[in-house]
Structures are given as C-alpha cells and as structure tokens.
C-alpha cells in the first residue's frame, strides 16, 4: 500500500547510541536507540518501501563518526534538521551575535566526505537541495527554497497543524481547529499560520 501511494517512511535517529540516547528517550527516560534500530530493520525487511532517516545536527559528534554511522544504516535517503532555537534560547554553541559558524563548519566537513565518496549513493536532502539551488533549480524544502512548502503535521489525536518546528514560538502556537475528522488538507493549508508558512519562501 505504501509503495502504491508513494508514501516514504522516515525514522528519527540522532547518530550513534551514545549521542542518540541523550535526548531521544522513552516515557521511562530510557534511551530509544535499540528500539529505533529494530524499527529500521522491520521496514528494511519489507524491501520495497523507501526508507529514510532524520537526524538533528549534533556538533558534539565528530563528522567522520556521523558519516560512518549513516553509511552503516544502509538507508536510501536522510536529512538533517538544525536544532531548534530562539532569541532567549539559541542552539548550543551559538551566542546572540550569531558570529559563530560551528554548525556550518560541521555540515561542510560532512558534505565534503559525502560528495567525495563514490562508494555510497546516500541521498542527503539538505545537501541535494543546496546543490539544486546553486544550479538554479527550484526547490521546496522546509529550511530554504524557492517554491511553496506544502508541509502539514498530523498529530496523534488527528489535529492538522503547520510545521512542528513552529511550536518553539510559544505554547499552543500551532494549535487550531483543523482535524482529520472535519478538515480537508486543502482547507488546513489555508489556515492563517499554515498559509504564512506555505508561502514563506
């Protein structure tokens, strides 16, 4: 069914076990790494379902270690998210003057390994999008791009909200009246917040 509907599965994992289990814990505060790996293997056993992973950039992980880990996962595609932050709580290592380039330096180092590695064809979404943009190709990506971004989040209770990263703007910021029981996706994309994000590029 997933193949027929062109649905891809993305699983979040933030690097090797020692790093992932710092923040990705279950309700009993136990690290989730082992269960995530089990889930990845379940999907891979089906064979035909495109599987990707999503990782939040952690500048504590040496780029070489992160790249080796990604290759070992043997997935089709992956993408990076920059850590959430705002004026009062900037991401780790960034001061309020934003003069540091620690995240750029980390990503550039990993990009060089990926770009020069002819033995691996892992598709890293952030890198592909940046290459396309440099070449003048239109891109619709969460972080940057030139086209509209048709991204919505369906919460476990059925609520349809704008992109979850916007939750950092305040408690309940993404909440609205849209729910899968009473709202089409076209209607949900036309709520004020979703429309602002949809047209943000």
What is the residue-level pLDDT of the chain in tens, covering all 201 positions? 888 888 888 999 999 999 999 989 988 999 999 999 999 999 988 877 778 999 999 999 999 999 999 999 988 899 999 888 777 888 877 766 667 789 999 999 999 999 999 887 789 999 999 999 999 998 877 777 777 777 888 999 999 998 877 888 888 888 888 999 999 998 988 888 888 877 776
Could you tell me the pTM of the whole model? Answer: 0.82
Q: What b/e string do you get for 102-129 counting C-beta neighbours within 10 Å, with b at 16 or more?
A: ebeebbeebbebbeeeeeeebebbbbeb
Supply the pLDDT for residue 96: 66
Supply the pLDDT for residue 111: 96
The answer for residues whose C-beta is within 8 angstroms of residue 161's C-beta and 6 or more apart is 152, 153, 155, 174, 175, 176, 178, 194
In the numeric block, the tokens 């705002």 are attached to: 86
- CA distances, 189 to each of 9, 83, 148, 176 (Å): 22, 25, 11, 12
Q: How deeply is 201 buried, as exposed, middle or buried, from its count of CB atoms within 10 A (0-12, 13-18, 19+)?
A: middle
Alpha helix segments (H runs only) across 63-164: 63-73, 102-116, 125-134
Token pair belonging to 110 = 């990993």
Asked whether the beta carbons of 122 and 75 are under 8 A apart, the reply is yes
């Amino acid at each position: 069914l997933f193949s027929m509907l062109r649905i891809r599965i993305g699983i979040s994992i933030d690097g090797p076990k020692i790093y992932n289990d710092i923040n990705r814990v279950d309700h009993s505060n136990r690290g989730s790494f082992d269960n995530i790996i089990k889930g990845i293997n379940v999907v891979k056993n089906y064979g035909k379902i495109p599987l990707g992973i999503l990782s939040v950039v952690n500048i504590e992980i040496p780029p070489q270690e992160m790249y080796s880990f990604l290759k070992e996962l043997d997935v089709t595609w992956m993408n990076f998210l920059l850590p959430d932050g705002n004026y009062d709580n900037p991401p780790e290592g960034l001061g309020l003057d934003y003069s540091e380039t620690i995240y750029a330096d980390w990503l550039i180092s990993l990009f060089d390994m990926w770009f020069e590695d002819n033995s691996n064809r892992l598709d890293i979404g952030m890198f592909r999008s940046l290459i396309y943009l440099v070449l003048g190709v239109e891109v619709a990506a969460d972080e940057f791009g030139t086209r509209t971004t048709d991204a919505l989040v369906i919460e476990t209770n059925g609520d349809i909200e704008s992109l979850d990263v916007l939750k950092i703007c305040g408690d309940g910021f993404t909440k609205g009246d849209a729910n899968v029981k009473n709202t089409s996706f076209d209607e949900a994309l036309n709520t004020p917040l979703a429309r602002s994000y949809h047209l943000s590029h």
